[in-house]
Chains A and B, each alone.
Chain A
Amino acid sequence: MNKAFYILAVFLLLLGTGLVLLPDREHSDEASPGELLSNLRNPSRFISTDKVAEMIISQDPALLLVDVRDMYDFLDYSLPGAHSIPLEEIMMYNWVDSLSYKQSQIVLFSNSDILADQAWVLLKRKKYENIHIMKGGLNHWFETIIQPEPPAETAADDEIDRYQFRKGASIYFTGGAVPLEQETSTEAVMVKRKNKTQLVEGGC
């Protein structure tokens, strides 16, 4: 046998024995408290109502809306296409294979953002990715999308654009009726806004 064989044999046997002798080390499939805390500071954990409206309207196939309120609230009103997964059941829901969740952008919402945030923290502890909280929840949704405040005349162009978008979205979501305030807009044309809040792309 040549020398290289002995070198290899010593090397492999040494490391192999090491592997057997190493004490078991706990491998947690959960994010540690520290990781969780640093996740909290990631601004992409929130998604604006405008962005959600845009994704619903453009029928973004990646969007997965999750209503974490209880079933009664859900039956009363929820966002179009939303799934009802009450906070209590959030960990029972089989995220992994029901919807190819890796490709999804999951948006959690409740009436405000507290319940959604609680669901978010739980899911994040389980290392789920691409989960976002709809900032302000349904209350904010009604304030901004369903019943948007018209901006002041002197408002910046941005703001007026945004209002136009929301106006259109409102008509879209409420079924095309003439808006409550006497806005002259007969055109129910969607004003496409530029993607400013790009969701973080994950995976491959």
Chain B
Amino acid sequence: MTGPLIPMGIIGQGWDLVIALLIGMAFGYVLESAGFSSSRKLAGVFYGYDFTVLRVFFTAAITAMVGLLYFGYMGWIDLSMIYVNKTFLIAAIVGGITMGLGFITGGYCPGTSMCGIAIGKIDAMVFTGGMLLGIFIFSEGFPLVKGIYQGYDLGALKINEVLGLSTGVFAILLIIVALVAFVITRIVENKVKKVEY
């Protein structure tokens, strides 16, 4: 009963692609049913007419985080084996802002564009085509940004360690922040002129 199952060798390597498929299906189903296949719904979060993205996103991240912490506490999962992505400070910030600009112009992010494609959104297909091109451009221009890409490596930091909080305290603070944000966004949503889509 100790996870993560695949790194621990409890589930054989052969199964992981089947699992990937199943997890992907669940992921896609939930995203699409929440409305993430519509770019105008996604963009709503930036113009105040629809905060679905924020709600789903925060709820999911926090639920998974709390679940992970409990699983770790009970010894069901070895938290030290959970992949924590490294922080390359400048690359993360520049990359994040670039993605933000891409988000507001393209109206999708990679996962949601897949949902869009699945239900026949042509703009999502073009977006994904753009992404392929973008990755190609990045790869070709990689020598130019190599310094930023590999520089300012802060290592695999956890945010609660940076803030000097215990995981539990950080979790409850984040929960409160999220719940307050949900209330505020509901108020904003009611004030902003509705956009039909």
Contact = CB atoms under 8 A, between A and B. Distances in A.
A–B direct touch in complex (beta carbons closer than 8 A): yes
Contacts of A41: none
Interface string A48-72: 0000000000000000000000000
Given A17-B172, A19-B171, A19-B172, A12 B70 contact: no
Interface string A1-33: 100010011001101111111100100010000
Interface string B146-185: 0000000000000000000011110110011011001100
A34 to B, nearest CB: 14
Nearest to A22: B73
B98 interface: no
B175 A16 contact: yes
A19 B63 contact: no
A27 to B, nearest CB: 8
A18 B169 CA distance: 10
B168 A19 contact: yes
A155 interface: no
Contacts of A18: 70
Contact of A9 (B9, B69, B179): B179
A19 B183 contact: no
A146 to B, nearest CB: 36
B59 interface: yes
A16 B166 CA distance: 12
B96 interface: no
Contact of B70 (A13, A17, A19): A19
A45 to B, nearest CB: 16
Nearest to A203: B7
B169 A12 contact: no
A12 B62 contact: yes
Interface of B: 7, 9, 13, 59, 62-63, 66, 69-70, 73, 80, 166-169, 171-172, 175-176, 178-179, 182-183, 186
Interface of A: 1, 5, 8-9, 12-13, 15-22, 25, 29, 202-204
Given A12-B63, A25-B73, A204-B13, 13 more contacts: A1-B183, A1-B186, A9-B179, A12-B62, A13-B172, A13-B175, A13-B176, A17-B172, A19-B172, A20-B169, A20-B172, A203-B7, A204-B7
5 contacts: A12-B178, A16-B171, A18-B70, A19-B168, A204-B13
